[in-house]
């Protein structure tokens, strides 16, 4: 039976679909294309356009295709936007995830992999964040993901649904073979934006906040290559298939870089010395988020292959250059539909 990948036309979702079809898995992608792209879904997977929050539609899809496994990416995922539109995030990330979980239970789905975030930790008390640290998110995005984790935990206890929640740190880079990358029209993640500047798609870069209690005053983040993260989803699915217990696990390398350090690497890799503007902090940004990364290796048997910041940056820049070269003809804008919660991560 096919694996259902919600939000599989988006950034992380499309890379995970590539990994699944590369292993010979049957894949059905459910995406409303509000932020995803139909061309990001490989021909070996089937794209179904629809809203993950449409209960009757999702129920019918699961039952007609006999789906027993779901990887759930569809969500809204911008921290600053969540602060400005908290109710939109609670609708898209909590209410619609509840619809999916309920449909999954009714349809007899056995396994669900959930796309969560390091934002559930809020302002951590420690430099390296383990999975057992308190979850006290400081923005609506993090709260919405934590509430979804609670729903999964309770539904699993009541109905026997097996799940794994993967808490992402900062995802960056692109498929090493150039098949997919981060293509959102609204870019806020540092490596994506800096790569756009290096590729000539933006005039300059802003650094938000230089007065954080860090080694150079800018935020520190743990950057994980999107292909390594996609492979972690496949490993999580294989673990559940083998009877593994429910799990919440960090996805990162266990090493952090400051914003200024990342900018320096982008300049070095690209050979472009672009302008940088220093601006005030954005609301909702913690000073430091670095993953405790032991559990993902021990539980999933996951071994990252692309744990190298210059490699992550190089793949991101190559993707941006390909978008610049091909945008007018080969990379059409996505179909515009209301952003109602089926957005693609």
pLDDT tens digits, residue range 218-259? 999 999 999 999 999 999 999 999 999 999 999 999 999 999
As a whole number of angstroms, the distance between CA 232 and CA 216 comes to 32
Kindly write down the DSSP assignment for every residue of 120-144, as one continuous string: GG-S-SSSSB-TTS----SSHHHHH
Query: How many CB atoms are closer than 10 A to CB 273?
Result: 9
User: Which of 35-63 are b and which e, b meaning 16 or more Cβ less than 10 Å from the residue's Cβ?
Assistant: bbbeebbbeebebeebbbbbbebbbebbe
Alpha helices in 76-166 (DSSP H): 79-84, 86-89, 96-107, 140-159
DSSP summary character for residue 218: S
What does the pLDDT average to over 136-146?
96
Give yes or no for residue 113 having a pLDDT over 90: yes
What does the pLDDT average to over 49-54?
97
Tracing tokens 């390594």 back to the chain, one arrives at: 228
141 included as an active-site residue: yes
Q: pLDDT band for position 332 (50/70/90)? A: very low
Give yes or no for residue 110 having a pLDDT over 80: yes
Angle among Cα 267, 268, 270 to the nearest 5 degrees reads 65
Q: Which residues contact 36 (CB under 8 A, 6 or more apart)?
A: 7, 8, 9, 10, 13, 14, 334, 343, 344
Angle among Cα 69, 345, 232 to the nearest 5 degrees reads 55
Angstrom CA distances, 197 to 34, 45, 77, 142, 157, stand at 25, 33, 22, 28, 48
pTM of the model: 0.92
Q: What is the pLDDT at residue 246?
A: 98
Q: What is the pLDDT at residue 327?
A: 65
Q: What is the pLDDT at residue 343?
A: 32
State the catalytic residue, choosing from 89, 90, 141, 257. Answer: 141
Position with higher pLDDT, 278 vs 185:
278
Give yes or no for residue 15 having a pLDDT over 80: yes
| Neighbouring-strand partners of residue 31 | 49
Tokens of 176: 């090493």
Domains parsed from the chain with CATH numbers: 3-330 (3.40.50.720)
């Amino acid at each position: 039976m096919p694996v259902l990948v919600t939000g599989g036309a988006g950034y992380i979702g499309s890379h995970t679909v590539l990994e699944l079809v590369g292993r010979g898995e049957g894949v059905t992608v459910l995406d409303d294309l509000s932020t995803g792209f139909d061309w990001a879904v490989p021909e070996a997977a089937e794209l179904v356009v629809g809203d993950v929050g449409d209960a009757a539609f999702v129920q019918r899809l699961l039952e007609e295709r006999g789906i027993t496994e779901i990887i759930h990416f569809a969500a809204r995922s911008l921290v600053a936007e969540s602060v400005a539109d908290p109710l939109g995030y609670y609708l898209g990330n909590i209410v619609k995830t509840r619809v999916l979980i309920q449909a999954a239970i009714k349809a007899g789905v056995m396994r669900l992999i959930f796309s969560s975030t390091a934002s559930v930790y809020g302002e951590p008390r420690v430099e390296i964040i383990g999975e057992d640290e308190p979850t006290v998110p400081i923005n609506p995005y993090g709260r919405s993901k934590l509430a979804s984790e609670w729903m999964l935990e309770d539904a699993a206890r009541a109905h026997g649904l097996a799940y794994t929640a993967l808490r992402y740190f900062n995802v960056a880079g692109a498929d090493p073979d150039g098949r997919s990358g981060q293509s959102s029209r609204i870019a806020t993640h540092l490596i994506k934006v800096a790569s756009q500047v290096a590729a000539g798609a933006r005039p300059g870069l802003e650094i938000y906040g230089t007065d954080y209690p860090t080694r150079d005053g800018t935020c520190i983040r743990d950057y994980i290559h999107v292909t390594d993260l996609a492979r972690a989803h496949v490993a999580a699915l294989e673990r559940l298939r083998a009877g593994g217990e429910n799990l919440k696990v960090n996805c990162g390398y266990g090493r952090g870089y400051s914003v200024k350090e990342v900018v320096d690497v982008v300049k070095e890799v690209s050979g472009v010395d672009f302008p940088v503007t220093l601006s005030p902090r954005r609301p909702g940004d913690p000073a430091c988020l670095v993953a405790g990364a032991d559990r993902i290796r021990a539980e999933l048997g996951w071994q990252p292959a692309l744990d190298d910041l210059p490699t992550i940056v190089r793949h991101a820049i190559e993707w941006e250059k390909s978008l610049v070269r091909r945008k007018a003809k080969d990379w059409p804008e996505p179909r515009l539909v209301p952003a109602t919660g089926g957005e693609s991560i």
